[in-house]
Structure 1
Amino acid sequence: MDEFLSVCDYYIFTPYIYPVDWSEDYAPRQCISICLILWFSGFLLYFFTATFSYFFVFDHQLKKHPLYIKKQISLEIKYTSWTSPLASALMAPLFLAECRGYTKLYNSIDERGWPFVIFSIISFMMFTDCLIYWIHRGLHHRSVYKAIHKAHHSWKIVTPFSSHAMNPVDAWLQSVPYHIYPFIFPLNKYLHIALLMLVNFWAISVHDGNFKVPDILKPIINGSAHHTDHHMFFNYNYGQYFTFWDRVGGSFRVPSAFEGKSPLDELKKK
């Protein structure tokens, strides 16, 4: 994030936005700048990736399902549009701490070598997969579900645009594991950005309605088929990348799509 902030300071914020007495290392200014960067770049990433997935991956036959909401795509985009600045504001302090040197992010791969980079990718995915499972499951508890997580379950038949259409507190809570990892473990800062982008791509992919998975990966990967059942049946398949924690937590459900009973299969039988 410090690289993005530096570029934006040089070309936009310093010459055009802020008062001259606000130095580039002034913490309130940095926090505002980070919020704007997250809002703008995050929404663009969501919109263009979800649009690509909608036109080239998503099966539009699903829109004929009775649980698909009229004008759902526009509702999902509108919901994401108004929640994304709020979610960005909640996430900005974590990025500010990163920019001000409070994490264990490092600059050059040569500092720790490629084997450590590979290890970091594996450990990041395992660490976040575990925490996301328990956070997500916790969000289904009746004491917080209605206030925080229910909005995301408005979409029973999900589309790529459903991925980020959620309460901003929900979005923040489910993003925390990705940001606290470098506070605990060393991580290359460029790899961190790449992994954060991967997370966004993955969030869209598990909402894209494409249930095709190589047979060897079906018991392991928590994909679109699993997450579709999560939206349809509520108390199953909370996981992020893998099915491991659902199996440990007793919340694993074999996806309906793997048994010929997905929403799309139901439509074909009519």
Structure 2
Amino acid sequence: MDHVLKVADHYFFTPYLYPASWPEDGALRQLISLSLLTNLGALTVYFVFGTLSFYFIFDHRLMKHPQFIEDQVRKEIQLAATSLFWMSFPTVGLFFLEIRGHSQLFDDVSQSSQGWPGVFLSIAGFLFFTDMCIYWIHRSMHHRSIYKHLHKQHHLFKIPTPFASHAFHPLDGFLQSLPYHVYPFIFPLNKVVYLTLFIFVNIWTISIHDGDYRIPGPLINIINGAAHHVDHHLFFNYNYGQYFTFWDRLGGSYKHPSVLQDNGPHVHIRKLAGNTLRQ
């Protein structure tokens, strides 16, 4: 995040926003700057990729499903925007610790004893670690003593659109994002790679809510895509994973996508349309 902050300081914050008496490395200034960048960045990724996905990927026929609620898109956006704002406060605290040098993030690949092989290994480690942690955090959110207070808000949307991707209770959303922030405090990771992965996971979160249920054949049983995740929204106790199906299989919560068994949302829409025509 310090790379983004340096660019913002150079081109905007220093010349146009802050008085000269506020040094760029001042803690208060950094916290304010990180708050602005975090909110702007999160909303930009959410609205840009969410909108592109909604208009160019999402199948709008799904909006005819009986469980697609009234005024759903507006409700998804409203909840997501509120959640992203409140989530930004603890997130900024973690970013602040990173730019203050308390993490294991590094600039130059040559600083890593493992070089480029270590960088690629760290990417695999990041995906494995975050997928594992999010699975168990997500599954715990479905415990009956927690669900009604936090995760229930996300499950209002049985047939989600891409705008539901970040529509969480703020605490629920932050806890599920926490593994992304924790990883570089435990394991070495290149700063540019970390920033790229952070953007990637937000786009991935949008993608598993995009209503495009097509999955390349060999990956059906490996990748947790939108076809898997819509079953999570519809059937509740299945497919908690983020990227892969590994932890669902290990935890006994894997469900083969109903859409691939001719029992998905489109089938119900066709049945509903057929019944309407017969009437």
What is the TM-score when the length of structure 1 is the normalising length? Answer: 0.96
Task: Report what 2:135 is aligned to.
Answer: 133
Once the two structures are superposed, residues 191-224 of structure 1 have per-residue CA deviations (whole angstroms, 9 ceiling, x without a partner) of 0001011101110010011111112111111110
What is the SS of the residue equivalent to 2:149? helix
Q: Is the 8 A contact 2:67 2:158 kept in 1?
A: yes
Q: Which moved further from structure 2: 24-33 or 160-169?
A: 24-33
Q: 1:266 aligned to 2:268?
A: yes
Task: Report what 2:10 is aligned to.
Answer: 10
Shift of 1:22: 3.1
Shift of 1:19: 4.7
Task: Report what 1:154 is aligned to.
Answer: 156
Q: 1:241 aligned to 2:243?
A: yes
Task: Report what 1:226 is aligned to.
Answer: 228
Give the gaps of 5 or more residues in structure 1: none
Shift of 1:32: 2.1
Shift of 1:37: 0.5
Q: Is the 8 A contact 1:35 1:85 kept in 2?
A: no
Task: Report what 2:205 is aligned to.
Answer: 203
What is the SS of the residue equivalent to 1:133? helix
Shift of 1:75: 1.7
Tell me the distance in 2 between the aligned counterparts of 1:20 and 1:83: 34
Give the gaps of 5 or more residues in structure 2: 275-279
What code does the residue aligned with 1:28 have? L
What code does the residue aligned with 1:2 have? D
Identical residues among aligned pairs (%): 51
Tell me the distance in 2 between the aligned counterparts of 1:50 and 1:233: 24
Once the two structures are superposed, residues 86-119 of structure 1 have per-residue CA deviations (whole angstroms, 9 ceiling, x without a partner) of 1111211111111000111111223332211111
Q: Is the 8 A contact 1:34 1:92 kept in 2?
A: yes
Structure 1 residues 143, 32: CA separation in 2 closer, same or farther (over 3 Å shift)? Answer: farther
Q: How does 1:1-40 map to 2 (within 5 A)?
A: 1-40=1-40
Task: Report what 1:111 is aligned to.
Answer: 111
Tell me the distance in 1 between the aligned counterparts of 2:168 and 2:128: 24
Tell me the distance in 1 between the aligned counterparts of 2:56 and 2:210: 10
Tell me the distance in 2 between the aligned counterparts of 1:263 and 1:11: 48
What is the SS of the residue equivalent to 1:253? coil
What code does the residue aligned with 1:64 have? K
Q: Which moved further from structure 2: 1-10 or 170-179?
A: 1-10
Tell me the distance in 2 between the aligned counterparts of 1:246 and 1:78: 30
What code does the residue aligned with 2:2 have? D
Shift of 1:17: 3.3
Q: Is the 8 A contact 2:83 2:173 kept in 1?
A: no
Larger radius of gyration: 2
Q: RMSD of the TM alignment (CA)? A: 1.3
Q: How does 1:170-209 map to 2 (within 5 A)?
A: 170-209=172-211
Structure 1 residues 106, 17: CA separation in 2 closer, same or farther (over 3 Å shift)? Answer: same
Q: Is the 8 A contact 1:148 1:167 kept in 2?
A: yes
Aligned residues: 270
Tell me the distance in 2 between the aligned counterparts of 1:208 and 1:54: 7
Q: How does 1:87-98 map to 2 (within 5 A)?
A: 87-98=87-98
Q: Is the 8 A contact 1:132 1:240 kept in 2?
A: yes
Tell me the distance in 1 between the aligned counterparts of 2:242 and 2:56: 23
- Runs of 4+ more than 4 Å apart: none
